[in-house]
Structure 1
Amino acid sequence: MRSARFERAYAAHYEPIFAYVLRRTDSVQDASDVVADVFLTAWRRVDDMPDDEETVLWLYGIARRVLANHARSRRRYDRLAARVLATGTTSTATEARDPDGAVAAAFDRLRPEDQDILGLVAVEGLTPTEIARALGRPAVYVRVRLHRARSRFARELNAEGIEM
């Protein structure tokens, strides 16, 4: 029963979770590792898995936490590599759409929490209510956070010379 429930969730939600993670990692390999951790956590907590319509939101919540851990590890690795190599380069998926890097620079200056909530809305297409369920927070909390994140992003864009 547990196995069948997990298998249904995996089959139904692997692709959107993988796409969500891929947009937030530097490579397909990193995304694959993160998604494997997401579903490992889901397997361990299969008894806590909500009903079908809520499952993907629950998985997004797990993915956010695994990504946060991955990002912390990546930052530690990057700092160490920078010290060892005395250089550091990164590339982002937005370079092709933002050749001068103005939008990416503005977005990168946002707090990770702001980046995450804006991404859940703009890229994943979640509503504030769905985000609230994924985060285990009241919808009003998410709406306020989203409003503030949008305001901060608009200020950063203005600093880059992009009028909103």
Structure 2
Amino acid sequence: MQTARTEYEITTQSFEDEFEQLFRELLHRLISFLVTAGARLADAEDAVQMAFIELARVWRSVEHPRSWLRKVSFRMWTKVLTKNKFDDLVSEFPEGVSHEQVDEIIGQSQVVQVLKQLPPLQQAVMAFEYDGCTPSETADAMGMPAVNVRQNLHRARANLAKVLQQKGIH
């Protein structure tokens, strides 16, 4: 009986330590990712928190928690915001972003300001691209065929080239 209790306590502590480390490491990055994709800060924070809650429920069955969290965070945001209608994605960049870590990640360049000039679906696929996802990973997270993701990436890059050219940035 004592061995089972000790094993339970070790397993529980291990889960808590790993989960807390993952939370600290990814919280602001995931919020920034969703803001880059077009979410308002409050919506991004809610979606990421819901994803972490869900991860705690299924922790033992998730092999790759980082990519799982990105996928679930994005889906939580789109479910709440648009009920999976990507044509209606928010196109406004939230004003007054207040978290220093989010500001640091987003503020390193003018990426968000440029991306917000794209149509919402192109903005979303570029956010995944910017975050290092492959088209297949993006397709899986967005629930669409990879060919559609690649097509929208192609269009987004062409549109970004036009925007940058208009701004005199090459």
Q: TM-score surpassing 0.5?
A: yes
Identity of aligned residues (%): 28
Q: Does 1:112 align with 2:120?
A: yes
Write the distance in 2 (CA, Å) between the matches of 1:112 and 1:7. 37
1:90 aligns with 2:100: no
Report whether the alignment pairs 1:160 with 2:164.
no
* Structure 1 partner of 2:75: 65
Please tell me whether the aligned partners of residues 51 and 76 of structure 2 are also in contact (alpha carbons under 8 angstroms): yes
Q: Deviations over 1:17-67 (max 9, x none)?
A: 54121342776x8755432222334567x49x97514x5444323211333
Partner of 2:47 in structure 1? 34
Kindly provide the CA deviation profile for residues 95-132 of structure 1, in whole angstroms up to 9, marking residues without a partner as x.
Answer: 5644xxxx65432211222222112112x211112222
Shift of residue 71 of structure 1? 6.7
User: Which consecutive residues of structure 1, in runs of 5 or more, have no partner in the other structure?
Assistant: 73-88
1:70-117 Cα shifts (integer Å, max 9, x gaps):
778xxxxxxxxxxxxxxxx9246455644xxxx654322112222221
Q: Specify every segment of 5 or more residues in structure 2 that has no aligned partner in the other structure, as ranges.
A: 1-11, 83-93, 98-102
* Equivalent pairs, count: 136
Q: 1:160 to 1:61 in 2, by over 3 A?
A: same
Residues 149/33 of structure 1: CA separation in 2 closer, same or farther (3 Å cut): same
Q: What TM-score does the superposition give when structure 2 sets the normalisation length?
A: 0.55
**Does structure 1 conserve the Cα–Cα contact (< 8 Å) formed by 2:47 and 2:77?**
yes
- Greater relative CO, 1 or 2 (CA 8 Å, sep 6+): 2
- 1:19 equivalent to 2:29? Answer yes
| 8 Å Cα contact 2:115/2:160 also seen in 1 | yes
Distance in 2 separating the partners of 1:130 and 1:9: 24
1:52 partner letter: E
Q: TM-score when scaled to structure 1? A: 0.57
